[in-house]
Structures are given as C-alpha cells and as structure tokens.
Chains A and B, each alone.
Chain A
Amino acid sequence: QLHLQESGPRLVKPSETLSLTCSVSGGSISTSTYYWGWIRQAPGKGLEWIGSIYYSGSTHYSPSLKSRVTMSVDTSKNQISLTLNSVTAADTAVYYCARGFAGSGMDVWGQGTTVTVSS
C-alpha cells in the first residue's frame, strides 16, 4: 500500500525558504504514468494547488507561485521535494503531497504537515 509522508521545518522565518520533503513508501516514484503534487490549505481557506512533477522531472507550477517554487524528485531516495522562496505569513498552511494518475485526480495523499511563517 502506497504511503506518503511529508517532513520539514514547522517554523520558517519571513523572507526565508520553506523546504519540504515527501517520502514515498510501498511503491516507486519512478513510474511514468503517475505525477506527484503539492497542495496546501491556509487556515480558514480552501485548497490551493502548488504544482506537480513527474519522475522525469517535468513540472507544472501554479502561476501565482511560479516565481518562488521549485519541485524536484530524488529517485534514489524515493522522495519528492518542494522549496518555496521568500515566504511570508500568507504561506502559513498545511502542506500536502499527493499522487495522481496522469490525466486524473490525486488518489493518494500524505497526512499533511503544518508550516508556520513567523519571526
């Protein structure tokens, strides 16, 4: 059974970089038919798609975050990573990683990790 687990600092200072890792177990990320996504939910707000990446490294980013986001895959560690630069309080949210089948929705999700941006 596929399991996703997000990890990373819970507290990030304004203007610094948020870095999260999604560790995948129970399956390989090196499958061309799947994509891996990052989604967040700020307190009291709705779901926001951050971006997606295929194991080949092909990426799609949210237009509103594109200038600050980078995603990458580490097939040797079976991990996906997310970095978000120049964070502000508006980036405080629960961050989720998820898997989706190409052309379909995201069917496997991590439990999420809460990141707070504060000095």
Chain B
Amino acid sequence: QSVLTQPPSASGTPGQRVTISCSGSSSNIGRNTVNWYQKLPGTAPKLLIDSNDQRPSGVPDRFSGSKSGTSASLAISGLQSDDEADYYCAAWDGSLNGYVFGTGTKVTVL
C-alpha cells in the first residue's frame, strides 16, 4: 500500500482541464520535492514534472505541477487523446528512507 494517495481515475473531454491530486505526509511531500510520471501501456514511464513544478525538455506546457504542504497536483490543460495514460506522483520518503510512487491515476479522454 503506497503512502502517496491518488484518485484511481480522472476524465475529461478534449480541450478540458484535468487535475490529479497526490496526498502524502510530512515525511515525503511535506519535506521533499514531487515528481510526476506518465505511463502509457507497453512503454517506459516518462518524467513529466520534476521538482514539484519543473517541466523537463520536450514536455508540453499543457502539463503543470504544484505542491502545497503535504499534497501535490498535476494539471493537464487542453486535454488531448494522446494524454490517455496512467499518471504517478512520486517523492522521497524520509521515514521509509526510500522513493515512493503514488497509487496512480488513469486519465481517460471522453
């Protein structure tokens, strides 16, 4: 059971904005930066957001990340069919002394 909790699913129509939450604690999100990964079936995960809100080179600015206290969020604006994927938050957990992934959120484009 992950220490980072995400909603199992989220959905939207093309062009809409979708937000995914990631709830943690003081030992992980509360004191460390959050990363977000996109996972498409059959492909390796892709780093989408680094260090809470930084987009790696090549990631569209439709993706944005934020963090407040012990929670973080990923927003996808201008939703596209290609955005259908599983999204995972992740952070270092000082109590576990390890990196933890969130439970994952499946995004569906209606």
Contact = CB atoms under 8 A, between A and B. Distances in A.
Nearest to A62: B98
B98 A39 contact: no
Q: What's the dominant secondary structure at chain B's contact region?
A: strand
A107 B44 CA distance: 11
Interface of B: 2, 33, 35, 37, 39, 43-47, 49-51, 56, 86, 88, 90, 96-104
Interface in A70-110: 96, 98, 103-107, 109-110
Nearest to B88: A47
A111 B43 CA distance: 7
22 contacts: A46-B88, A46-B103, A46-B104, A47-B45, A48-B101, A49-B99, A49-B100, A49-B101, A60-B97, A60-B99, A98-B44, A103-B33, A104-B50, A104-B51, A105-B35, A106-B47, A107-B50, A107-B56, A109-B45, A110-B44, A111-B43, A112-B44
Q: What's the dominant secondary structure at chain A's contact region?
A: strand
For this complex, into which size category does the number of interface residues on chain A fall? 20 to 34
B88 A105 contact: no
Contact of A47 (B33, B43, B50, B101): B101
B67 to A, nearest CB: 13
Contacts of B35: 104-106
A26 B101 CA distance: 28
A79 B50 CA distance: 25
A108 to B, nearest CB: 9
Given A46-B2, A47-B88, A105-B90, A96 B45 contact: yes
